[in-house]
Amino acid sequence: MRILIIGSGGREHALAWKIAQSPLVEKLYAAPGSDVMAALAEPVMVDSNSVEALADWAEENKIDIAVVGSEVYLSLGITDAFSRRGVAMFGPSYQAARLESSKVFAKRFMTKYRIPTARFEVFDQLTDAMDYIQAVNSPLVIKADGLAAGKGVIVTDTIAEAQTAVDQIMGQRLYGDAGKVVLVEERLYGEEVSLLAISDGTHILPLIPAQDHKRVFVGDHGPNTGGMGAYAPASVLTPELLTKVEEDILRPVIKGMANEGYPYVGILYAGLMLTDSGPKVIEFNVRFGDPEAQVILPLLRNDLVELMQATLHQELHLQRLDWKKGASACVVLASEGYPGSYEVGKEIFGLAAAENIHNLLIFHAGTKSKRGKWRTAGGRVLNLVGLGSDLPAALKVAYQGANLINFQGAYYRSDIGWRELARK
């Protein structure tokens, strides 16, 4: 089979690593790919910013299955563009992808199908939002309606903080046009967990639960990021809770999407809060999580290409997932200043030594190779994934790698998995 991966980050590197292991793969391509991915997938010389150009290339080159990493492509209707050319895409249509691309759509969908989530109001006028916050006078979460690279959510404790957040998003347009409309939600309390599932439009197959670390600093302080690390499996989502999430959240989403005329095909990612009154949806994503994919895929024994085939042929109910024993943990090595402004082009040292660490996988998120030297090229630079018999063992491997690799201004969170460790 001829497979195309669309994207260039750590998640896409992990996808390439996993897909390349399949004996079904005749040729693997990446658009645009990255310097490190070139060892696994041939880079595609086409305008990767144009879904139509990508679809044309896929048709001309007889791609059997394409898989997209970033939500941005899905929000632009890449699945529809590929479908018009008869190329299979492992990912939801433009209409179904609104579960992530529009938080307003997602919340109204959840309300319609009685999927548990936080109470909310929607505002397109700054003054109306300000007045509402003053009247509510309770802890709130402010969200930009559109895509903001995983950073368009501000959790607040006071009226002043909430009003400042609304002004930043709507008034100052911190996230650009994504902030033309905002959601003001009640703040949920509990522990967060990520549950990804594969859907073929009718059936659903949950993956193992993971927990990521969104805040930039130790102790979950500072602004949200695209993710500073993750681990799997997360025991906080017990088998009993998993069954409840399947029945109350995942299956109603798939049935609701089919009912709306937008069958959901691909990865459905539910970001959950485990509250005292049960699991509630914080948000949906419509693709592999980043860095959740980096900790889930290494534990999956199944051939990912076989799973994608079964999904696209609506035969997911014939599949059974097989997981390796133990745990995986990802530590993100980031550039100084991230998630704000940061410099790139810093030389990276220690990669060769780290590559010799047993049970360590290194997925490149933002790097470039120049004259035989690796340099930084993003905010999140490297994903160091440790595998072990349990979480402490996996973390030991990941941090061993983090301590070997260095570049000017490099930093990472030293408390990945702290909640899980506290449960032991």
Domains of the chain: 2-94 (3.40.50.20), 119-186 (3.30.1490.20), 190-318 (3.30.470.20), 327-423 (3.90.600.10)
Q: Span 293-320, mean pLDDT? A: 98
Q: Is the per-residue pLDDT at 151 higher than 80? A: no
Q: Span 156-185, mean pLDDT? A: 91
Query: Quick one: pLDDT band at residue 233, thresholds 50, 70, 90?
Result: very high
pLDDT at 185: 93
> For 23-45, how does the pLDDT look when each residue is reduced to its tens digit (9 = 90+)?
999 999 999 999 999 999 999 98
Residue with tokens 């990276």: 348
pLDDT at 137: 82
Q: Is the per-residue pLDDT at 153 higher than 90? A: no
What is the model's pTM? 0.94
> For 90-134, how does the pLDDT look when each residue is reduced to its tens digit (9 = 90+)?
999 999 999 999 999 999 999 999 999 999 999 999 989 999 999
Q: Is the per-residue pLDDT at 17 higher than 90? A: yes
Q: Span 358-383, mean pLDDT? A: 97
CA-nearest of 83, 85, 86 to 95 is 83
Contact (CB, 8 A) for 166 and 175 = no
* Mean pLDDT, rounded, of the chain: 95
For the chain, percent of residues with pLDDT exceeding 70: 99
Residue 267: phi and psi, rounded to 5, are -95, 125
Query: Quick one: pLDDT band at residue 174, thresholds 50, 70, 90?
Result: confident
pLDDT at 334: 98
Q: Span 202-222, mean pLDDT? A: 95
Of all helices (H) and strands (E), which one includes residue 107?
helix 103-112
> For 381-415, how does the pLDDT look when each residue is reduced to its tens digit (9 = 90+)?
999 999 999 999 999 999 999 999 999 999 999 99
Convert 251-307 into a string of H (helix), E (strand) and C (coil).
HHHHHHHHHHCCCCEEEEEEEEEEECCEEEEEEEECCCCCCHHHHHHHHECCCHHHH
Taking CA 20 as the corner, what is the angle to CA 16 and CA 25, rounded to the nearest 5 degrees? 120
Query: Quick one: pLDDT band at residue 150, thresholds 50, 70, 90?
Result: low
Query: Quick one: pLDDT band at residue 175, thresholds 50, 70, 90?
Result: confident
Which of 152-156, 180-184, 207-211, 368-372 is the most confident on average? Answer: 207-211
Contact (CB, 8 A) for 212 and 194 = yes
Could you give the CA distance from residue 366 to residue 291 in angstroms, rounded to a whole number?
13
